[in-house]
Structure 1
Amino acid sequence: MNHTPSLPSWATWWQRPFPDANTLLLCGRQPALVDSGFVGHAQETADWAHAHAGTIELIVNTHWHSDHVGGNALLQARGAGIAAGAPEADAILRRDPGCCAAEYLDQPVAPYTVDVSLDDGQVLRLGDADWEVARTPGHTPGHLALWQPDERLLVVGDALSDYDVGWVNLALDGPEAAATALASLTRMADLDPRVILPSHGPVPVDPGAAFAGALRRAQRLVDDPGGAVWYGARRIFAFALMIRGGIPAGEVEPYLHARQWLADAARLLDRTPEALAGELVTTMLASGAVVLRDGRLHAGADHAPVPAAALRVPYPRDWPPA
C-alpha cells in the first residue's frame, strides 16, 4: 500500500483549495511561512499561522503570483519579513508596474515590500532548519524552490503537482520559457527528494513518478508552443472566474476582450481576440472546466469563495513607494 511521505514534526502543511496556494509553516526559533495564499483569504492565513506558531518572522514566496503573495501585506504589517527570488524581489522594490503580473492577469495583490532578495545557492534558516534556495525559472522568471537536504524535502512551488505542471507565459517571458521550465524540473528531479511539497494539490505519494509525469507534460509544452499558449489561457480564465464568484454570461466575452493576456495569446495563436475569447469559452464549457449556473459562468474546479470587497486593492502602478 502507498502512503503519503511523512513530514518532520517542525513542518506543518496546509493543503488549500483554489484560489489559494498551499502553505507550509516551519516552526522553531524563527517561525516562517512559505507562501501566503490569496488576498481574499489573508485574514484566514494570518489566523492559522498565529494559532500554530504565534508570530511569523519570515515569509518566503516561491514566486509572485496572486495566490502565493496575498497574505504578505497583512503579515508584514504584523512584523513579518518577506523574502523572494530575484529578479521579482528587485521589481517589487522599484515598484515596477508589471509586479506580480497583477494588472496583466487582472489578479489583485495588496501592496507589500521585499526585505530579502534570494538567489541560487543561498541558505536560509527557516524555523530551526537550514534550507537551500534553488532558482527554478519557467513558470515565472523569479520562481524558486526550497531544498532541505537533511530531511530531503523539496518545496516546488507551481513547477509541478501530482497532476500538473505550471503554465508558462510565452508572450511575457519569451519563446524559451517552456524549455526553461523543463530544465528547472530536471534540476529538481536530480535532487531525488523524499517529499515533494507542491503549491497545489496533495503531497505526491511517489516523488519519482510525480517527476516522471511532470517531465512528460513539460516536454509537451516545449514541443507544442500553441498548446502551451492554450494551456495558460485556460488556467488564467478559470482563476478569474474563481476569484469573482463567476461572471455573468453576457459579460464574459467583453471581459476577455479587455484583457492583455488574451490579446497576447490571440497574437501567438494567429487569431483575433474576439475569436479566441469565443473559442475559449466554448471549449471550456464543453470540457466541464467552466459551467453555466444561474446565468453566470463559473470555474468547474473546486474552489473557495472570495469576498468581493477583497478584490478592491490597487494595481502595482498605484502602490505606495517601498
Structure 2
Amino acid sequence: MSLRPPELPSWATWWQRPFPDANTLLLQGRQPALVDSGFVGHARETTEWARARAGRIALVVNTHWHSDHVGGNALLQAQGAAVAAGAPEAEAISRRDPGCCSAEYLDQPVAPYSVDVSLDDGQILRLGDTEWEVVRTPGHTPGHLALWQPEERLLVVGDALSDYDVGWVDLALDGPDAAATALASLQRMADLDPRVILPSHGPVPADTRAAFAAALRRGRRLVDDPDGAVWYGARRIFAFALMIRDGIPSEEVEPYLHARAWLTDAARLLRLTPEALAADLVKSMLSAGGIVLRDGRLRAAAGHTPVAAESLRVPYPRAWPASEPR
C-alpha cells in the first residue's frame, strides 16, 4: 500500500508545475504571499493564478534566483508586490551585478526586478497569516534558503531536494566545497524533522524521512565524485536550454554549446576541451534518453510546458536599469 502525501493546511495552496517552472506556494491571509514565481515565459499565467485565489499578492519570496524561480517577479512587482530574497542574492540584485541570477552565464532569461526585503538566517517572516523562519541552505546557490513553519512543520526546500533528485551544484562558480555545503544544508533541513516537504520540482514526497535519506545519499555522491557533479550540472543546464527554446536545430547544437560559459567552465574542470565536452554531452544524453532528436531538432525528453519565443527577449542583468529603492 503506497503512502499518500501529507495534507496542507487550508491557508496554503500548492501548485505543482512542470518544467521550466518551479512549483509555487500561495499563502493566503491578510498579507497574501507567493513563494517562487516560475519562469518568465509564464509570468502572466503565474500572476493570474495567484490573483484568482488571493486577489493580490503582498510579498514574493524567492528560495533562490535561478530563472525558473524568479520569472514572475517583475510582473508581480509592477502590480504592487514586494520581493524578498536571501541576503547574498538580494545585495547582488540591488547593485545590479552582471552575474545576477546566473542569467547570462546559464543563458536563461530573467526580466529585471528589484529586491525589497533582504533575508538572513533565523529571520521571522509573516506570510499570509502565519509566521515562517528563514533557514539559510546554501549549496545549489550561495543564497539559497528554505522556509520553516514550525506549528504545522512545513518546510519549503527550494531546489535542495525533491522526491527524485538533489539540486545540482556549480563547482566552477561557487568553488570545490559547494557540494559539501549543499550536503550540510540537507542535513540541517533533515534535522528539523518536517511533517511536509515542499520541493520546487516534482510532487510532495509521501515519506519525508525517506526523501531526506535518499537526498543525503545523493548529496554524498556529489561530494565524493566531483567529476560526476560537474557532469550532472551540465546535463541539467543543457536540458533546460532545450526546454525553453522548443529544442535547438541539430546542426546548431554544438556551436550553441561552444559559446556557453558554463560549458567552458565544466570542460576545464573535467580536463576536456569545450568541443570534446559538447560532443560527449550530446552523445551521452541521446544514448541515455535524456534528449531526443525529432523533426531535425534536439529536444529535452522530460515533460515540460512550451515557452513563447518572444518571452525570452529580455536583457541580461548587465543591461538592467538601475534598481530604485521602494
Give the Cα separation in 2 of the matches to 1:282 and 1:86.
40
Q: CA offsets per residue over residues 50-73 of structure 1, 9 Å max, x none?
A: 001011000000000000000000
Q: CA offsets per residue over residues 189-215 of structure 1, 9 Å max, x none?
A: 000000000000000000000000000
Shift of 1:114: 0.1
Give the Cα separation in 2 of the matches to 1:230 and 1:35.
27
4+ runs deviating over 3 angstroms? none
Q: What does residue range 62-211 of structure 1 map to in structure 2 within 5 Å? A: 62-211=63-212
CA RMSD, 1 decimal = 0.3
Shift of 1:157: 0.1
Q: What does residue range 140-289 of structure 1 map to in structure 2 within 5 Å? A: 140-289=141-290
Give the Cα separation in 1 of the matches to 2:248 and 2:173.
26
Shift of 1:259: 0.2
Q: What does residue range 303-318 of structure 1 map to in structure 2 within 5 Å? A: 303-318=304-319
The one-letter amino acid paired with 2:63 is: T
Identity of paired residues, percent? 81
The one-letter amino acid paired with 1:170 is: L
Give the Cα separation in 2 of the matches to 1:86 and 1:262.
28
Give the Cα separation in 2 of the matches to 1:298 and 1:119.
39
Give the Cα separation in 2 of the matches to 1:213 and 1:302.
23
Q: CA offsets per residue over residues 232-269 of structure 1, 9 Å max, x none?
A: 00000000000000000000000000000000000000
Q: CA offsets per residue over residues 262-300 of structure 1, 9 Å max, x none?
A: 000000000000000000000000011000000000000
Give the Cα separation in 2 of the matches to 1:269 and 1:4.
40
The one-letter amino acid paired with 2:77 is: Q
Give the Cα separation in 2 of the matches to 1:201 and 1:55.
26
Shift of 1:3: 1.1
Give the Cα separation in 2 of the matches to 1:292 and 1:89.
40
Give the Cα separation in 2 of the matches to 1:283 and 1:88.
34
Shift of 1:74: 0.2
Shift of 1:116: 0.2
Q: CA offsets per residue over residues 68-118 of structure 1, 9 Å max, x none?
A: 000000000000000000100000000000000000000000000000000
Secondary structure in 1 aligned to 2:110?
A: coil
1:4 aligns with 2:8: no
TM-score, normalization by structure 2: 0.99
Structure 2 unpaired stretches of 5+? none
The one-letter amino acid paired with 1:256 is: L
Secondary structure in 2 aligned to 1:202?
A: coil
Shift of 1:39: 0.0
Give the Cα separation in 2 of the matches to 1:73 and 1:133.
23
Q: CA offsets per residue over residues 147-197 of structure 1, 9 Å max, x none?
A: 000000000000000000000000000000000000000000000000000
